[in-house]
Structure 1
Amino acid sequence: MSVLQPGFDGTEPPDWLRRALADGLGGVVLFARNLAGHGQAAGLVAAIRGESPGVIVAVDEEGGAVTRLEARTGSSWPGNRALGVADDVGVTTRVARRIGRLLAGAGITLDYAPVADVNANPDNPVIGVRSFGPDPHLAARHTEAWIRGLQGAGVAACAKHFPGHGDTVTDSHLALPTVNVSREVLEERDLPPFRAAIRAGVQAIMCGHLLVPALDEVPATLSRTVLTGLLREELGYRGMVVTDAIEMRAVAAYHEPGEIAVRALLAGADAVCAGVSAPDGSSVYALRDAIVSAVREGRLPEERLAEAAGRVRSLVEWHAGQAPARAAAAADPADDPEDDLGLTAAEAGLRVTIAAGAARPVLVRAPLVVEMSARTSQAVDAVAPPGFAGALAELLPGTRGISVRAGEPLPDLGDHGRPVVVVVQDAARYAWIRDLLDEAVRARPDAVVVEMGLPGPPAGAVYLATHGNSRVSARAAARWLTS
């Protein structure tokens, strides 16, 4: 049980989870479905630790679009791409430290962040703005800065998704992605951020559900060549390796959960993440039973399981030893939570293109905001995704917002002479968004276009790229348009 990190439903520990913790369950992962605010999060973690003080409590808190503690409001922090565009490692360190302080206040042990992937493919459906960028050296220095910031606040970091999820066109939540490049390209492009993470003393690395033919013919999660040969022996990593969620179709389509857990442990993983559990916890106990059977049958050496459990304990011991760092971060007068660091960092990630002959607009009247976005990646766990119209309405009461989905027509853009702001996300990846955007700009050449994903060709009189879809990035763009 010590090598399992399951999720659960509800905002309180269910009975099965309490039993599993008493039986030696080593970890728990929290999602937005478990969290209803900072105070509740701290109470939930305290209840979990009341059953097992040494349990690892993990969460995905990347900043940007992927947030669990702020899923209902949108993140107070820009995501990795905005930080990479600003390219100030000091700011990246401070943002990660502040996220660490937030997590430490809730009692979290481990943050499944940062994303260390180099987003080499602009058509990537699941990484995108979650990456610091397409340049491996930039991604490496910000990965290292982010880890130092988070772990400096006494919370363990987890670099993901080894050996690199950036050059894929498939979402591993839905199918198995393949990275078809040479070993030399992997070495020069994908591995530098993970090398930097190891230099920074990262406490955990998450392997990706990826097929990399240049390395092995099985997914990285199940590959001893990748997890032991490359990560351990070549890169020299000694910390805990955790799998991505094993219910993701990239691996779940090929093996039963218990078999995935056994093969991952054989490959060199130390902890198995299962984001979705049966309501009675039977699926977690089935994973335990599959691991025990594999040991008894001689398929999984007992010493390999003991090694994995030892690395889990080492992370717990590291966290226990970071109590002074957490106290110092919480009391640091130079790290004032009222300084709006998140907004400052998001503003630094803005980039603006003004069309020839156009002037910089300053919105003084409430505009019509037309927002167009496709379904977000399953990595995003937002209960109420942030809206740009809401951010503008805080500054210009009376702002009218309309959301347009695929197959729906544009609204009337005349709307009594209101200024028009068209907000898109990853327009370059979706033909229907590009078509509607072109139609909107033809109808209103004076429109302001705000891109909250990866930017494409500029459109409109003014094209504003936030490099991320978070509440604070929306606030930053709204402030720019009204100042």
Structure 2
Amino acid sequence: MGLDPGLRRLALGTLLAAYPGPVPPDWAVDLLAEGLAGHTLFGTNVHDPAQMAATTAALRAGRPDVLVAIDEEGGDVTRLAHATGSPYPGNAALGAVDDPTLTRQVYAAIGAELAALGINLDLAPTVDVNTADENPVIGTRSFGADPVRVAVHSAAAVVGLQSAGVAACAKHFPGHGATVADSHYELPTVDVPPAVLRQRDLPPFAAVVDAGVRAVMTAHIRVPALTGDGPATFSRAVLVDLLRTEYGFSGAVITDALEMKGAASAAGGVGPAAVRALAAGADLLCIGAKVDADLVEHVAEEIVAALTDGRLDRARVEEAAGRAAELAASTGAAASATGTPDGLGYAAALRAVRVEGDVTGLTAPLVVQVHAASTIAEGRVPWGLGPHLAGAEVVRAVAGETDPAELRRLAGERPIVLVGRHLHRLPGARELVDALAATHPVTVVEMGWPGAWRPTGARAFVTTYGASHANGRAAAQVLGLAG
């Protein structure tokens, strides 16, 4: 016996699915006609603007009021420019510049690009306060370590995005910035009292609620004083008592991807995670990136079963589906376009570069790019100075496995420019830099979160606050190496 059609449609109305490839398969469109709230697009779904416009048109043929979501943060997290790197700097660079008007302009430009392609929900901005230099998943996705500065720029980003008719989704509530674990792989714990969260992590969320943000994304983090042994995604104390009652948020609560270990492992699978999130007060459930028709049906079946046996209250699920529908209906009313200034992102990235030391005289250097793994959030996006250089040799090195003597031999009389991401926490990187700088003129370019470490003996330390295409071009220009 099949599912009750009315309950199945209700359950589907709370789900944000995904599909593989550049062309939506029939099942992905059919599910929209049957009530699915929408789909999230990832890099594998993106080839070029014409294809993207065709994709969103195909999805709207399934249902006109579909939610088409994407993670487009600028900086290190981009789906539209995953093949080349984003033409916009990310949040850390914008926070370093500390010009809220610029932040609003950059996010308005991103929003205009998304709206033109038919995308109406951006799973951005990240409004976490990155207070842990060792944070492996937030870092340059954050506007900084100061709650006041992060709050100001978070609000500016929301206003910019939503001025283009694209709903913003502030993430990750109640704050992922103090973690030293990645919730894609495990459940991080932030063991602090609520008073610390209110002072350190929550001011940006208060600011975006005041700015009218349409959606807030949950964090798969454990805050024992509030969430007990489970993640915030499953906590009514977080999603209802704190976010809705204390902070007055009335929009849609979206979960981070339920396929992530921080949620799925805590619940015993994606389906049970969906039920627990809905019961806690979430409205729109992001299933994840690796989704097929069977998984969507499985999650819908779990929700219907919970409605049938009383684990979920029907009024709660109707409220969730209603908020998801309201979110879709709230998009598309863009303000009159004023146009994006030419080169906005590159000019912003240039303003963010910080130089400690002397970067003159870097004629035809040996550029050493130190390998850095990407996070799941970032994906494998090209980075570095290579595409922006004129007359410089680029070699790649693995910290901890590369002989400094070999790099010195390759450099000869030339200076060395060593480029890395998060060098302060990359095993072997500090030792490699210090060994090279002991006998050679070395300039270090840090394209990740900089931390407090500075190399011994280096001629200069350059911080870009991100590794987007724009950040790379800006660094090459500051070093006098741009082609």
Give the TM-score normalised by structure 2.
0.93
Aligned residues: 462
Write the distance in 2 (CA, Å) between the matches of 1:404 and 1:15.
Answer: 45
**Local SS of the residue matching 1:103:** helix
| 1:278 shift after superposition | 4.5
Query: For residue 454 of structure 1, what is the aligned residue in structure 2?
Result: 449
* Residue 421 in structure 1 maps to residue 433 in structure 2: no
Match for 2:269 among 252, 256, 277? 256
Write the distance in 2 (CA, Å) between the matches of 1:38 and 1:476.
Answer: 25
Write the distance in 1 (CA, Å) between the matches of 2:290 and 2:180.
Answer: 28
226-235 vs 427-436, which moves further: 427-436
CA RMSD of aligned residues (A): 1.4
| 1:416 shift after superposition | 4.4
159-168 vs 289-298, which moves further: 289-298
Match for 1:376 among 368, 371, 374? 374
Aligned CA distance change for structure 1 residues 419 and 96 (closer, same or farther; 3 Å): same
Structure 2 counterparts to residues 43-442 of structure 1, below 5 A = 43-217=54-228, 218-254=230-266, 255-279=268-292, 281-320=293-332, 322=333, 324-325=334-335, 328-329=336-337, 332-333=338-339, 335-336=340-341, 339-354=342-357, 359-363=358-362, 365-382=363-380, 384-392=381-389, 396=390, 398-410=391-403, 411-414=406-409, 415-442=411-438
268-277 vs 235-244, which moves further: 268-277
| 1:424 shift after superposition | 1.4
Letter of the 1:257 partner, please give it.
V
Aligned CA distance change for structure 1 residues 366 and 46 (closer, same or farther; 3 Å): farther
Write the distance in 1 (CA, Å) between the matches of 2:204 and 2:23.
Answer: 37
- Runs of at least 4 residues of structure 1 off by over 4 A? none
For each residue in 1:233-290, what CA deviation from the matched residue of structure 2 results, as whole angstroms up to 9, or x when unmatched? Answer: 11110000000001111122232111100110010000000123444x1000111111
**Local SS of the residue matching 2:223:** coil
Q: Contact (CA 8 Å) 2:18, 2:291: kept in 1 or not? A: no
Write the distance in 2 (CA, Å) between the matches of 1:264 and 1:159.
Answer: 18
Identity of aligned residues (%): 45
| 1:366 shift after superposition | 2.7
| 1:449 shift after superposition | 0.8
Q: Contact (CA 8 Å) 2:121, 2:169: kept in 1 or not? A: yes
Give the TM-score normalised by structure 1.
0.93
- Structure 1 regions of 5+ residues with no counterpart? none
- Structure 2 regions of 5+ residues with no counterpart? 1-11
Q: Contact (CA 8 Å) 1:243, 1:269: kept in 2 or not? A: yes
Write the distance in 1 (CA, Å) between the matches of 2:437 and 2:290.
Answer: 47
| 1:401 shift after superposition | 1.2
Letter of the 1:453 partner, please give it.
G
Query: For residue 9 of structure 2, what is the aligned residue in structure 1?
Result: none
Write the distance in 2 (CA, Å) between the matches of 1:403 and 1:249.
Answer: 32
| 1:193 shift after superposition | 0.2
Letter of the 2:414 partner, please give it.
R
